[in-house]
Amino acid sequence: MEIILSIGIGVFAASGVWLILRPRTYQVIIGLSLISYAVNLFIFAMAGGGLRVDAPPIIASGTAGDPSALADPIPQALVLTAIVIGFAMTALFLVVLLAARGRTGTDHVDGREPER
Amino acid sequence: MTGTTTPLVEHLAILPVLLPLAVGAFMLLFDERRRLFKMVLSLATVLALLIIAITLIVMVNMPSGDRWSTIFVYPLGNWPPPFGIVLVVDRLAAMMLLLTALLGSATLLFALARWHKAGPRFYTLFLLLLTGLNGAFLTGDLFNLFVFFEILLAASYGLVLHGSGTARVRAGLHYIPINLVASSLFLIGVAVIYGVTGTLNMADLSRIVPTLDGQARVLMEAGAAVLGIAFLVKAGMWPLSFWLPTTYAAACAPIAAMFAIMTKVGVYVILRLFLLCFGDEAGASEEFGALWLYYGGMATIAFGAIGVLASQSMQRLGGYAVLVSSGTLLAAIGTGNSAVISGALYYMATSTLAISAYFLLVELIERGQAAGADVLAVTLEIFGDPEEDIEDEDEEVGVAIPATIAVLGGAFVACTALLAGLPPLSGFIAKFAMLSALINEAGDIPASHWAFVVLLMLSGLGTLIAMTRNGIRTLWVPAENEIPRVRAIEAIPVAGLLFLCAAMTVAGGPTMRYMEATAQILYWPREYAREVLGSGPTSPGRSQTTHPITGGTP
């Protein structure tokens, strides 16, 4: 479980960083999305007590609450917030990307094609 | 919380966040063409924020019980900390709120003269920026800090593009991804810190950090370092600051003036978290990262000073002045000396006001000139003006300087004195306070402190040279340029900001005492933690005027 998750985070982050360093705006936005996936998974991995499988999120009726048997709710709340914010920011950046394409006539991140 | 506060007063702590958010959202319901209505509403909001900030500063300054200062803790939803999210108003937060409100009212007034028409939904974005700033200053919780950071960043993305134009879109294309990546780092840092300590409450963190050892401590420090990088990108520490001058130069004048406080958000958070988590009581982690802040800050000062000297346009010069200012603050935090930090807090207030006034002023001065005239002015100086020899000198004698130019020139001189740290204005007092604290340290003064002293002096000299050169070439030219038409509503904010700096000079004693008390409180994280965590939930109806404090008093 741990190894799969960490490989997943690593692949997402590495591809994201590579794409962010590319010169085209579309590559940058995909890179940013991939990095935000990596970060969201990473938050889960840092949950209190480490990664857990089959831990219920809420207390079943009639049982006394044992916090150690339950899933840590805070990372879930954090990830949810981070997803919403990341989504909004990606949409906002997409608008800027289109505006830049329209204004400069190129999709290069510097607003002009490099001289060859 | 003190026993004397009434429930109504307690709610003041949330108003700086709630008010601009509500008004900003409310204004979205109305058509863009109802400008007058929106102008009045946003101006009233900003003025209300100013009044709230002043009230809060008076309130935190009041002694409570056996202490000479008050810390207000506002548990949101009345959940007791550390389980619930809290807002904390202490001296530092109240000071930053006041600074934000002052800048907000000055720049909004300036923008209402003409810039507000340059793009849609200006008022809402501006108020959202204030929401984010105030929230970031007030919150006592790391994740909440992230949310407020995102609010202020989202508003700033819109505001950078305000007025449109290729240069702004191009600057936005760099500004936005850099901040998005910094936000990702922010989240990684928060997640690591949560994984190690199991809490996101800053006061709780300050209690847990000293108890960590072995692997947990290393992880905590790694998390703090990642988090620190996110804030240093915001604060503009070299080499994370290359985006800053371009963005500030591209943004329209009132927005650039408001952005002067955005780098200070990064500095504020570093100051707060560094002293809370890695202060004198942090055990093995004491002063973690102090050297990085110190040398990084000094590199930023050097980079900023070179940039100031090399800038050809006046807006870029302002951008580099921002870097000098935040570099000075970071290096001062890195010294870990409370006297230096109290000087730095004074410097933070005065440099923010001065840079903001400078950005507004530059727009007024350049209004009468053709685009790129300032670039020409500096290159002319180097390569010589071909027309200079032909000039008929007799005609120039006795030409009166137009009144507008005289006023603008006077304001420019004041800005120069403030940014370079010359007497008689507050920039001098700020630098003097820091320098004297550095030199008067007990024992031998280390060479690294001398380096800081020399850099502070040299950066002042560089700023002075660059600004004098720019001022001469733009203000003392024969009046062939059109004299800028300046409306009173645009001159008042500039004059007001400069007046505040002058007032900080005249009232230097009381202001400095406030800063000293602020710096001292920052050095007592235990006290802060007790105030924040010790305050239990109040009764749901908040009908009590007094309530017992559990563990709040020693």
Average pLDDT of chain B to the nearest whole number: 81
Tell if the CB–CB gap between A48 and B192 is shorter than 8 Å: no
Average pLDDT over residues B418-423: 84
Alpha helix segments (H runs only) across A1-116: 2-20, 25-45, 73-104
Query: Is B539 at the interface with chain A, CB within 8 A?
Result: no
Tell if the CB–CB gap between B180 and A39 is shorter than 8 Å: no
Residue with more model confidence, A79 or B372: A79
Q: How confident is the model at residue A37 (pLDDT cuts 50, 70, 90)?
A: very high
Contacts of B150 (CB under 8 A, 6+ apart): A85, A89, B132, B183
Give yes or no for residue B66 having a pLDDT over 90: no
Specify the pLDDT at position B547.
Answer: 34
Q: How far is B156 from B178, CA to CA, in rounded Å?
A: 13
Of A43, A96, A100, the CB nearest to B191: A43
Q: Name the residue type at position A58.
A: I
Query: Is B180 at the interface with chain A, CB within 8 A?
Result: yes
Contact B204, B534 (CB under 8 A): no
Specify the pLDDT at position B543.
Answer: 31
Rg (CA), chain A: 20
Distance from CA of B79 to the nearest CA of A (A): 15
Residue positions counted in chain A: 116
What percentage of chain B carries pLDDT values higher than 90? 23
Sorted by where each begins, the domain ranges of chain B are 7-384+402-534
Q: How confident is the model at residue B44 (pLDDT cuts 50, 70, 90)?
A: very high
By C-alpha distance, the chain B residue nearest A30 is B177
| Chain B residues within an 8 Å CB radius of A78 | 143, 187, 190-191, 194
Average pLDDT over residues B224-241: 89
Q: Which residues of A touch B (CB under 8 A)?
A: 20, 25, 28, 32, 35-36, 38-39, 42-43, 45-48, 74-75, 78, 81-82, 85, 88-89, 92-93, 96-97, 99-100, 103-104, 109-111
> What are the structural domains, with CATH classification, of chain A?
2-52+71-104 (1.10.287)
Q: How far is B89 from B71, CA to CA, in rounded Å?
A: 6
Q: How confident is the model at residue B369 (pLDDT cuts 50, 70, 90)?
A: low
By C-alpha distance, the chain B residue nearest A28 is B177
Burial bucket for residue B547 (CB in 10 Å: 0-12, 13-18, 19+): middle
Q: Name the residue type at position B185.
A: L
Q: What tokens does B183 get?
A: 């936000």
Contact B524, B443 (CB under 8 A): no
Give yes or no for residue B552 having a pLDDT over 60: no
Give yes or no for residue B396 having a pLDDT over 70: no
Give yes or no for residue B314 having a pLDDT over 70: yes
